[in-house]
Structure 1
Amino acid sequence: MTASAILPGSAIAGILLAAGRGRRFDPLGQRNKLLQPIDGEPVVVRSARHLLAALPRVVAVVRDDAEGAQLGAQLAALGCEVALCEEADSGMAASLVHGLRHAADASGWVVALGDMPRVRPATIAALAGAVEAGADIAVPVHGNEHGTQRGNPVAFSRRHLPQLLALTGDRGARGIVKDNIVNEVAVDDPGILLDIDTPPDLLQ
């Protein structure tokens, strides 16, 4: 059965992308940024915990190697479904497609990044609610001294599943967001703009 033929489920699912190598954080690859402590627990655990607080189902995509297994064990203990992605090094799109195929029966998806632990559960719930109310794509926006900025995560309805499954490379779903009508969801949440790219980011 093809993904487009799968009947949708009744709930929005979270897709947590946690298969990157984070070379900007540690060019030598000795420290996985997702395992670094923030607020007393690993970055990726905090990211997953916030997704699980807002959504009934979260699929965490990790690399199919020893480090991915370490990440996966922690995420499974929280209640995530863990999907091992052998093609993760080919780019973010491979991880996203892998996660979507794992949860292809959902009625929509909130696609979140494992290195964004400051996103609030209320923001995730608002994005899921926008899709449930009919939005095809929902993105959070936050106003600050720089004006109003779009951030992550991004929610998609099933309408875009064929396009999402056709993605390749390292751009993720940015092209789909750029080329389609987007429902902006205003949130009082600076966490949508804060990711962990370098060690100082852990202090944000």
Structure 2
Amino acid sequence: MATGAGGPQGLEAVVLAAGTGSRFGGGKLLAPFRDGVLLDGALAAAFAAPARNVWVVTGADAAAVGSAARAFADRIGQAERLRLVHASDHAEGMGASLRTAVAALPQDAAGAFVFLGDMPRVPAAVLPALAQALAAGAPAAAPIWRGRRGNPVLLGRVLFPQLLTLTGDQGARAVLQALGDRLALVEAPDDGVLFDVDERGDLSR
């Protein structure tokens, strides 16, 4: 795969950060975590991806989440790669956020990593391998840890038309399931591809 500024030509990174965090009690992505806020973990992984830009999809708490994303990008000297996009229909669920992200991507986007804002421990080491799987011809790639499929997923452009029709809160799950063995599975180095935060107690796990 040809490379350009920011990594393999045509790949983009998306961080879904539009949810209300209702099970958490609200304000989940801005909750203190390690040396910053929970969202910082997903942002760190997204900026480490072999991608040109990082698209953060906001919804609930849009102003605060956007400010946190800008502050993180500034801290790591990557402000020029950050793109903010608002999902006005975010209350519908993850499908709406993903639709918004895909619609905003550049016309020449060859694929998009999709990170979840409440997954702060994604190992950066798995990301180049996902990109290599897409470059080798897979329509999508996902990490696995001990037989369980995790996140982030890397979705090829061939799937974008289907992603633009998503509804509800399932995200790209049905699209990936329909691929069967055409979905490339990449072994992850640790369980960070499975770890997410749903409730406050998860922060200390």
**In 2, Cα distance between the equivalents of 1:188 and 1:49?**
17
Q: Deviations over 1:141-198 (max 9, x none)?
A: 112xxxx211111111111111111111111110011111211011112101100001
Aligned AA (1:72): G
TM-score, normalized by length of structure 2? Answer: 0.86
TM-score, normalized by length of structure 1? Answer: 0.86
Match in the other structure for 2:143: 140
Match in the other structure for 1:177: 176
Superposed counterparts of 1:11-90, under 5 Å: 11-26=10-25, 29=26, 32-54=27-49, 55-63=51-59, 67-77=61-71, 78=73, 79=79, 80-90=82-92
Q: Name whichever of 48-57 and 158-167 sits farther off.
A: 48-57
CA RMSD of aligned residues (A): 1.5
Superposed counterparts of 1:106-121, under 5 Å: 106-121=109-124
Instruction: State how many pairs are aligned.
Output: 186
**In 1, Cα distance between the equivalents of 2:193 and 2:166?**
23
SS at match of 1:201: helix
Moved over 4 A (4+): none
| Deviation of 1:99 (Å) | 0.7
Residues 1:192 and 2:193 aligned together:
yes
Mind listing any 5+ residue stretches in structure 1 that lack a counterpart? Answer: 1-8
| Deviation of 1:104 (Å) | 4.1
Q: Name whichever of 77-86 and 183-192 sits farther off.
A: 77-86
Percent identical pairs in the alignment equals: 37
| Deviation of 1:10 (Å) | 2.6
Match in the other structure for 1:168: 167
